[in-house]
A and B are shown apart, each in its own frame.
Chain A
Amino acid sequence: MTSRQNSIKKTIAALGMVAGAFAVTAQDAQAADPIKIGTFLSVTGPASFLGDPELKTLELYIEKLNEGGGVLGRQLELVQYDVGVDSKKAITAVKRLISQDEVDVIIGGSTSGATMAVVPLVEKAGVPFISLAGAVAIVEPVKKWVFKTPHTDKMACGKIFEDLQARGLTTIAMISGTGGFGKSMNGQCTKLAPAYNIKIAISESYGPKDTDMTAQLTKIKGVDGVQAVVNAGFGQGPAIVTKNYRQLGMTAPLYQSHGVASKKFIELAGDAAEGVRLPAAALLVADTLPDGDAQKPVVQAYSKDYSEAYGGSVSTFGGHAYDGLQIAVAAIVRAGSTDKEAVRNEIEKTSGYVGTGGVVNMSADDHLGLDLSAFRMLEIKNGDWSIVK
């Protein structure tokens, strides 16, 4: 697995040297146009929880790749626009990326809403696009130019329901954010519940900027027979839900989604986060992974790089951006050019790529390439993640 990584690195290094040689003779390494990577992320607004680490990761690794001589002897250039959580802004940004900046590949879209809004544009223009958003609708049905790296909301529901079954819990309550991710995950869980013999007794929701969810939780508390509560949402909302949950003295197991898979969540929710379970990528537990785990070296390296550059700890969201960039760069190297059709075909052929999110095996009818095994069920213990055995 890692041999492929190594071979990619070697290729990059070798090509870098070739480029270096050119630089000496031509006096100007810039003679070759840079490879343009376009991105549009929710760097500000309620989803900055996602967009901020994503952007930082892209910036960090593009700099690293350039220090190593770039890709195909060409430097990489990141073109980025902040789109908040407005899909309309995402459309403007993507039009700009495609027609003004003429980027070679697009890696971005922090939210499912922004991603789905630009899909028609990307499909029409024919630009390889790797999305960093969660909803399953992005890759089901398969769209020719659209790929994604994060686990889907459907997988999160499945993983949580598996865990509920293992604990013998059958009646649950859901509390979801009204944003795209919360709504989409709520829908997926509702669809999937009967297959696991799970009954959703009550479903409540809260707005993306709400600061108090005690009212919704009090309602849930008033419903008899609720054995567990599942919170679908990302950002600071779930942290407040968790705090309010403890304030109200609710004791049923609380499940969060992979939308909170960041140390920041534990920091914000404080002691209230103890005992909360969530499905997440191995990245969060890099150091406690068993030594034989294929993902261990990758996630440890990424963790180290990110923390050294920016301080603080990693989130899986930055990891999605890392995976997206690595998959795109590897595809460009394999294609030997930035020809869009060729790069797209190579992305689709990605197999055995070990990333922060799991082992990716894409195909013509799977533009995600992850299965449920990529998810680990984590529990928060003593202010840190631990793997549920």
Chain B
Amino acid sequence: MSAEFLQFLFSGVTLGATYGLVGLGFSIIYNASNVINFAQGEFVMMGGMGTVFFLGLGLPMPVAILAAIALTTLFGFGLERFAIAPARGANVVTLIIITIGASIVMRGLAQVVWGKEFHAVPPFSGDEPITIAGATILPQSLWVLGITVLLVIALRFFFEKTIMGKAIIATSLNRDAAMLMGINVRFVLFISFGLSAALGAIAGILVSPITLTNFEAGIMLGLKGFCAAILGGLGNGMGAVAGGLIVGIAEAMGAGYLISEYKDAIAFVLILLVLFFKPSGLFGKTGTERV
């Protein structure tokens, strides 16, 4: 493996893991509500910008990070309680437009409160690159990868072993049956939005030392996360992470070996090809449509 290839791989995997985390957030909300949450990218932005803001207040890094995650989670809960819940019964396209509205509102708020400037979150453990076989990787990239792996394991545990997790899975499989079984579907929805928001915030915090952040930073990350979720098969959490890695690596290799201007296009061409041959994504369920 050449050093060049390894270098492209490192940058692809780092961004890919972030896309995967964002995609995971899409999947969780989709499972609970069938809604594609277009404000997912704004959760990512709030994580990064929130950390910058709390650091600015003089809080130590770990506290600032937790505060930013808590703030974003509150917004997730709020989105469900004040925007999605009151519109219950509206069709899915309407709900999607509501989340688009929410994303505009969150960007608008961030712009008014935190300003329009770009900010850099300090890296967690320095920015002295580590050299591996001629290629370099930032310590922050290792943080991104490590925490993504931990989160994936923790989520698996949550969904398979805890009552709450099982309730979410049950709701996603069959909402009516879940309700009949005594699961509080509204509460499941509420928790799902909070959980997605927290995941988005973590992704934003992890990646902003590398990519910088401002009030509009969530737009692109949100879009790529959506790609990841679709590529992996909507609703399949592990699929979203895999999808994210594929998108990230395809982009990096495209920029490295093909034409850098077309690297975003490469990711989308890949997705179209996959969808044409596997209409439910790589790891999606190909069930029959309910009539």
Direct contact of A and B (CB under 8 A): yes
Confirm or deny: B252 has a beta carbon within 8 angstroms of a beta carbon on chain A: yes
B260 touches A43 (CB 8 A): no
Q: Which of A49, A178, A219, A272 contacts B261 (CB 8 A)?
A: A178
Q: Chain A residues near B207 (CB, 8 Å)?
A: 211
Is A44 interfacial (CB-CB < 8 Å)?
yes
| Cross-chain contact B136 with A239 (CB below 8 angstroms) | no
Instruction: Let me know if A275 is at the binding interface, CB within 8 A.
Output: no
B216 near A45 with CB under 8 A, answer: yes
Contact of A215 with B256 at beta-carbon distance under 8 Å, contacts A45-B216, A207-B264, A249-B131 already known: yes
- Cβ proximity bits B81-124 to A, threshold 8 Å, 1 near / 0 not: 00000000000000000000000000000010001111110000
Stretch at the interface among A102-110, A139-147, A262-270: A262-270
Contact B120 A44 (CB under 8 A): no
B8 contacts the other chain (Cβ, under 8 Å)? yes
Q: List CB contacts (< 8 Å) of B259-285 with chain A.
A: 260-261, 263-264
Report which of B116, B129, B216, B220 forms a contact with A211, defined as CB distance below 8 A. B220
11 sampled A-B residue pairs with Cβ under 8 A: A205-B261, A209-B220, A212-B15, A212-B211, A214-B11, A218-B256, A243-B210, A246-B127, A247-B136, A248-B136, A270-B120
A215 touches B129 (CB 8 A): no
Query: Is A215 touching B131 in the complex (CB atoms < 8 A)?
Result: no
In order of increasing CB-CB distance, the 8 nearest A-B pairs are A211-B211, A215-B255, A215-B256, A214-B11, A236-B118, A48-B116, A247-B129, A218-B7
A271 within 8 A of B: yes
Complex partner residue of B11 from A204, A212, A270, A271, CB under 8 angstroms: A212
Q: Does B138 contact A (CB under 8 A)?
A: yes
Q: Provide the bound-state CA to CA distance between A215 and B116, in Å.
A: 28
Q: Which residues of A240-255 have CB atoms within 8 Å of chain B's CB atoms?
A: 240, 243, 246-249
Q: How far is the CA of A271 from the CA of B209 in the complex (A)?
A: 13
Contact of A215 among B216, B252, B264 (CB under 8 A): B252
Q: A206 in the interface, Cβ–Cβ < 8 Å?
A: yes
Q: Which residue of A lies closest to B129 (CB)?
A: A247
Interface residues of B in 119-166 (CB under 8 A from A): 119-120, 127, 129, 131, 136, 138
Q: Min CB distance, A67 to chain B, in Å?
A: 25
Are A268's CB and B116's CB within 8 A? no
Question: Contact: B212 with A268, CB < 8 Å?
Answer: yes
A-contacting residues of B (Cβ < 8 Å)?
A: 4, 7-8, 10-11, 14-15, 111, 115-120, 127, 129, 131, 136, 138, 207, 210-212, 214, 216, 219-220, 252, 255-256, 260-261, 263-264
Across the interface, name the chain A residue whose C-beta is closest to B215.
Answer: A44
Whether A236 touches B4, Cβ cut-off 8 Å, given contacts A247-B129, A249-B136, A271-B127, is no
Let me know if A212 and B256 touch, CB within 8 A. Answer: no
Residues on B with C-beta less than 8 A from A168 are: none
What are the residues of chain B within 8 A of A246 when measuring CB–CB? 127, 129
Picked from A243, A248, A267, A272, the residue with its CB within 8 Å of the CB of B7 is A248
* Binary CB contact string for chain A from 32 to 64 against chain B (1 if under 8 A, 0 otherwise): 000000000001110011001000000000000
What is the minimal beta-carbon distance from B255 to any residue of chain A, in angstroms?
4
Mostly helix, strand, loop or mixed at chain A's interface? Answer: helix
B260, A205: Cβ atoms closer than 8 Å: yes
Does A227 lie at the interface of the complex (its beta carbon under 8 Å from any beta carbon of B)? no
A218 with B120: CB separation less than 8 A = no
Q: From B14, which residue of chain A is reached at the shortest CB distance?
A: A212
B131 cross-chain contacts in A, Cβ below 8 A: 249
Task: Indicate whether A222 reaches chain B with its CB closer than 8 angstroms.
Answer: yes
Contact indicator A268/B111 (Cβ below 8 Å): no
Known A215-B11, A240-B212; judge A49-B264 contact (CB<8 A). Answer: no
Q: Is A216 among interface residues, defined by CB-CB distance under 8 A?
A: yes
A21 CB, nearest partner CB in chain B, Å: 41
Most central of B111, B115, B118 by chain A CB within 10 Å: B118
How far is B216's CA from A245's CA once the two chains are assembled, in angstroms? 24
Smallest CB separation, B145 vs chain A (Å): 15
The answer to whether A249 touches B220, judged by C-beta atoms less than 8 angstroms apart, is: no
Q: What's the least CB distance linking A193 to chain B, in Å?
A: 21
Q: Is the CB of A222 within 8 A of B129?
A: no
Contacts of A52 in B (CB 8 A): 115-117
Given the complex of chains A and B, what is the CA–CA distance between A219 and B3 in angstroms?
11
Distance between A126 CB and nearest chain B CB, rounded to angstroms: 33
In the complex, per-residue mask of A121-144: 1 if CB is within 8 Å of any chain B CB, else 0: 000000000000000000000000
Q: Which of A48, A49, A235, A267 has the most CB of B within 10 A?
A: A48
A264 touches B117 (CB 8 A): yes
Name the A residues within 8 Å of B7 (CB-CB): 214-215, 218, 248
Q: Among the listed A44, A204, A211, A214, which residue makes an inter-chain contact with B212, where contact means beta carbons less than 8 Å apart?
A: A211
Q: Is the CB of A247 within 8 A of B138?
A: yes
- Name the A residues within 8 Å of B263 (CB-CB): 215
Q: Do A249 and B129 have beta carbons less than 8 Å apart?
A: yes
Q: Which interface residue of A206, A207, A218, A249 has the most chain B CB atoms within 10 A?
A: A218
CB distance from A219 to the nearest CB of B (A): 7
Q: Are A212 and B264 in contact (CB under 8 A)?
A: no
A97 CA to B216 CA in the complex, in Å? Answer: 27
In A193-241, the 8 Å CB interface with B consists of: 204-207, 209, 211-212, 214-216, 218-219, 222, 235-236, 239-240
Given contacts A215-B255, A239-B120, A249-B131, 6 further A-B contacts (CB under 8 A): A206-B260, A212-B211, A215-B252, A215-B256, A222-B4, A268-B120
B115 nearest in chain A by CB position: A52
Q: Is the beta-carbon distance between B260 and A204 smaller than 8 angstroms?
A: yes
Residues in B with CB closer than 8 Å to A268 are: 118-120, 212
Chain A residue nearest to B254 (CB atoms) is A215
Q: Are B211 and A240 in contact (CB under 8 A)?
A: yes
For B256, the chain A residues whose CB sits under 8 A away are 215, 218-219
Instruction: Give Cα A178 to B261, complex, Å.
Output: 8
Q: Which of B15, B111, B120, B264 has its CB near the most chain A CB atoms (within 10 A)? A: B120
Chain B residues with CB below 8 A from A43, complex form: 116
